[in-house]
Amino acid sequence: MERLFEPLAIGPVTIKNRIFSSGHDTVMAEDGLVTDQLVEYHRARAEGGAGLIVMQVSGVHESARYTSHVLMATEDSSIPGYAKVAAAVHPSGCKIFGQLFHPGREVMESQDGSMPVTWSASSVPNERFKVMPRELDERTIAEIVVGYAAAALRLQAGGLDGVEVVASHGYLPAQFLNSSVNRRSDSYGGDLGNRLRFLREILEAVRAAVGPTMAVGIRISGDELDPSGLVEDDALAACAELDRLGLLDYVSVTVGTSASLSGSDHIVPPMSYAVGYTASYAARVKKVVKVPVLVAGRINQPQDAARIIEQGSADACAMTRALICDPEMPAKAMEGRAEEIRACIACNQACIGHFHAGYPISCIQHPETGRELLYGRIRRATVSRNVVVIGGGPAGLKAAAVAAERGHSVTLFEARSRLGGQVRLASALPEREEFGGAIDNLYGEASRAGARFELGHAATADEVRRMAPAAVVVATGAKPRRPELETMGTPSISDAWAVISAGGRLKPQGRTVVADWRSDWVGIGVARMLAANGHSVVIAVGGYAPGESLQQYVRDSLVRSLYRERIEIMPLVRIVGADEDSVYLQHVLTGEPVIVEQAYNLVLAQGSLPEDELLRELAGDENLSVTGIGDCLAPRTVEEAVLEGLRAAWTI
């Protein structure tokens, strides 16, 4: 991986290696300004060895507020915050760029709940947010161009090393470039030269403002991969012309658009997308420009980044989620400790999932991310104590890893012969194979820290009492929930967990109903397994759509598969009962009966119940310090399990 760790000159700036963190919203800004939380977030990635960090977008005009938590570079009050970030990352030899941003019509939310007026090249609505923008007049265009230059000066005053104009993902500069959105008849519309004018004027103004000492680049979608999106030929021509004019020090290539559901899935592609699939788009940009080309998109391991660079597809690789998951990934790779890297599994749950929900981003495997002020430095225990952890799922493994790393003597008991709990079930489903990596990563952390494992050993309350540990962490997980059902005859009723364990094999063959209460990965996954084994499947969900509780890009990918695989979707129903050839449901809004006839199997994906018997028994013992975590406390997701494992071990 030598090429990965070679320096790279980007205009006047040289980065120490080819691994960078691309711009991504962290939801760590407050009142439009940098916070201490954001500073520590970036410090961790700089100290972990990243060569370059590109900060999240900074709005350049009051109309650029696309969320309630966007950074703004419209006032001089923003400068001290940027200075804090620069001061935090520079001692590690890491360079820091900032993104200059206007969303145009791509506005996710308002500042106060009322719908704002949005602006674009023309009054063409977007599909995803249902926004109808106003067409920008030339006076406001000029005002926004000045805003880009003024914002760049503020980032420069804060000590940042470069600025990146965001022309990707269907944001305002891309809206001018895109002939499907730009319907203007003035000098900003028509042929590509006119449609490029807005972005060209921005770059000219930024260049004039910051001078020769600051790197200036663009981020652009090589193809927006949408029927109404910017096409690859126009993106390539734009890059070539801007490079010819000497306005660029680099081009950062991605794909997709914020404007549609399918196009936006490429913004943070889930695990169903191939690793490094965007590299071919970067390679084509690289053929038409002389400046360095950077690429982003599903690059989660250093060997994948090294291959892309070695093949000449790009000069540097964004490994943003990989750095969210493991801030020390570059250092580990450079030092030959690749087996210690906590690999991103592209689940999207706590990173982009948190952003979409309006919470600071984190990682289900590494909840320290986003919480660096609390957990950024491991706190060694003053006295080493004996700690017993019961349960080898993600909650128990995280508790064991952190407790052992803090210096405690840890023994983990797992009743089964294999670690993993429900995560192993998840990884058995179609396009969810990488999910199992969470257990491999957590086991590696715990074992390297010195935790001892007793597999195939169901610890009892009496056994734990005899050990007299200083602390007991109970993480015994959950079991499938089976609701009360009305049945006649001997209907075929199975739990989803059992069907997954059997590889989707189920008898009798024929029409099968999957009753999906939670609308998460379980119902969709088991439905797809059954369809692959020849069943005609109906997925009956209690919500508006399957996958409703999943992050949008993950949900889109899975629901897309349901349609392609001809799986019938029945929304807004709850399970009531079954007989030998029918399944009985009830509409959740009207209360009316819904009957699925000629259905010979019913598969229940009805959530789970806590396996908390041991927790209840031990919690009543005044001589023990007992903490319940994860599903045995209350069934939820891997994210909560791992976070509670961290918190429990932190207090011992």
pLDDT tens for 575-618 read 999 999 999 999 999 999 999 999 999 999 999 999 999 999 99
Residue 99 shares a structural domain with residue 169: yes
Determine contact, residues 530/506, Cβ cutoff 8 Å.
yes
Contact 401, 449 (CB under 8 A): yes
In this structure, are 237 and 137 located in the same domain? yes
How far is Cα 342 from Cα 366, in angstroms, rounded to an integer?
Answer: 9
Predicted pLDDT of residue 111: 83
409's tokens: 């003597």
By the 8 A CB rule, do 8 and 18 touch?
Answer: yes
φ and ψ at 239, to 5 degrees?
A: -60, -45
217 forms bridges with which residues in the sheet? 164, 250
Residue range 526-533: mean pLDDT, rounded: 97
| Whether residue 602 is found in the same domain as residue 617 | no
CA-to-CA separations, 271 to 77, 224, 299, 301, 535, in angstroms, rounded: 40, 19, 11, 13, 25
List the beta strands (DSSP E) in 173-308. Answer: 215-221, 250-254, 293-295
Q: How far is CA 634 from CA 118, 384, 611, 612, 615, in A?
A: 43, 30, 9, 9, 12
Per DSSP, the three-state class of 57 is strand
Per-residue pLDDT reduced to its tens digit, 267-302: 999 999 999 999 999 999 999 999 999 999 999 999
pLDDT-derived band of residue 401, with 50, 70 and 90 as boundaries? very high
CA triplet 126, 229, 175: central angle to 5 degrees? 65
**DSSP structure class, residue 435:** G
| Mean local confidence (pLDDT), 196-216 | 98
The residues facing 583 across adjacent strands are: 578, 596
Name the nearest CA neighbour of 46 among 4, 90, 5.
90
Q: Tokens in use for 353?
A: 């999932």
Give me the chain's average pLDDT, please.
Answer: 97
Cα-Cα-Cα-Cα dihedral sign, residues 443, 449, 454, 460: negative
Q: Would you list the DSSP string of 371-425?
A: -HHHHSS----SS--EEEEE--SHHHHHHHHHHHHTT-EEEEEESSSSS-THHHH
pLDDT at 112 over 90: no
CA distance 525 to 504: 10
- Report the run of H or E that residue 255 belongs to, with start and end: none
Buried residues in 301-323 as b, exposed as e (16+ CB within 10 A): bbebbbbbbeeebbbbbbbbbbb
For residues 357 and 228, state if they share a domain. yes
Whether residues 624 and 580 fall in one domain: no
Q: Are residues 138 and 21 in the same domain?
A: yes
**Which of 374, 398, 424 corresponds to the end of one domain?**
374
The CATH number for 415's domain is 3.40.50.720
Q: Are residues 71 and 179 in the same domain?
A: yes
The rounded distance, in Å, linking the Cα atoms of 366 and 355 is 16
> Would you give the end-to-end CA distance of the chain in angstroms?
40
Indicate the pLDDT class of residue 113, thresholds 50, 70 and 90: confident
- What pLDDT was estimated at residue 115? 87
The helix or strand, by DSSP H or E, that contains position 166, with its residue range, turns out to be strand 162-167
Last residue of a domain, one of 310, 343, 374: 374
Task: Provide the pLDDT for residue 468.
Answer: 96
What element of type H or E holds 575? strand 573-578
Pairing of strands 316-318, 386-390: unpaired
Q: What is the Cα Rg of the chain in Å?
A: 26
Q: Tell me the CATH number at 183.
A: 3.20.20.70
What are the structure tokens assigned to 196, written together? 């490029």
Please indicate, yes or no, whether residues 17 and 156 belong to a single structural domain of this protein: yes
- pTM of the full structure: 0.97
CA 394 from centroid of its chain's CA atoms: 19
Please tell me the predicted confidence (pLDDT) of residue 110.
Answer: 82
- Three-state DSSP at 71 gives strand
Is 634 in the same domain as 544?
A: no
As separate numbers, helices (DSSP H) first and strands (DSSP E) second, the chain gives 23, 29
CATH number at residue 558: 3.50.50.60
Going from the C-alpha of 388 to that of each of 71, 448, 540, 627, the distances in angstroms are 45, 17, 42, 11
59 in Cβ contact with 25 (< 8 Å): no
Q: What is the pLDDT of residue 390?
A: 98
pLDDT digits (tens, 9 = 90+) for 345-373: 999 999 999 999 999 999 999 999 999 99
Q: Does residue 62 carry a pLDDT above 90?
A: yes
Domain tally, the chain: 3
> 496 vs 479, 513, 522, 526, 550, CA distance in Å?
11, 11, 7, 7, 18
Q: What is the model's pLDDT at position 223? A: 98
At residue 83, does pLDDT exceed 90?
A: yes
Higher-scoring residue by pLDDT: 512, 620: 512
Same domain, residue pair 602 and 614? no
Question: Domain check: are 229 and 354 in the same one?
Answer: yes
Residue range 86-100: mean pLDDT, rounded:
98
Range of the domain at 499: 482-606
Long-range contacts, stretch 108-115, CB < 8 angstroms, 24+ apart: 108/66, 108/67, 109/66, 109/67, 109/68, 109/358, 110/68, 111/65, 111/68
Tell me the percentage of the chain whose pLDDT exceeds 90: 98
Cis peptide before 133 (omega within 30 of 0): no
Q: Which of 374, 397, 432 is the last residue in one of the domains?
A: 374
Give yes or no: residues 208 and 119 share one domain: yes
E strand residue ranges, 18-159: 19-21, 52-59, 71-72, 95-101, 119-120, 134-135
Give the model confidence (pLDDT) of 482-518 as tens digits. Answer: 999 999 999 999 999 999 999 999 999 889 999 999 9
d(CA 275, CA 577): 43
